[in-house]
Amino acid sequence: MVTVVGPTDVRPEDGLTIDFVVEVDRAQLGEVVQRVRDGRLRINIGTVASLDDAVATFNSTERRAGKTVIRVRS
Would you kindly state where each structural domain of the chain is located, as residue ranges?
Answer: 1-42, 43-74
Q: What is the pLDDT of residue 52?
A: 93
Q: What is the dihedral of CA 73, 28, 68, 44, to 10 degrees?
A: 130
- Give the pLDDT of residue 20: 65
Q: Are 58 and 68 in contact (CB under 8 A)?
A: yes
pLDDT digits (tens, 9 = 90+) for 15-50: 777 666 677 788 888 888 899 899 998 888 899 999
Read off the amino acid at residue 33. Answer: V
Radius of gyration of the chain (CA): 15
What local confidence, expressed as pLDDT, does residue 60 receive? 87
Query: pTM higher than 0.75 for the full model?
Result: no
pLDDT given for residue 28 in this prediction: 84
Higher pLDDT, 17 or 56: 56
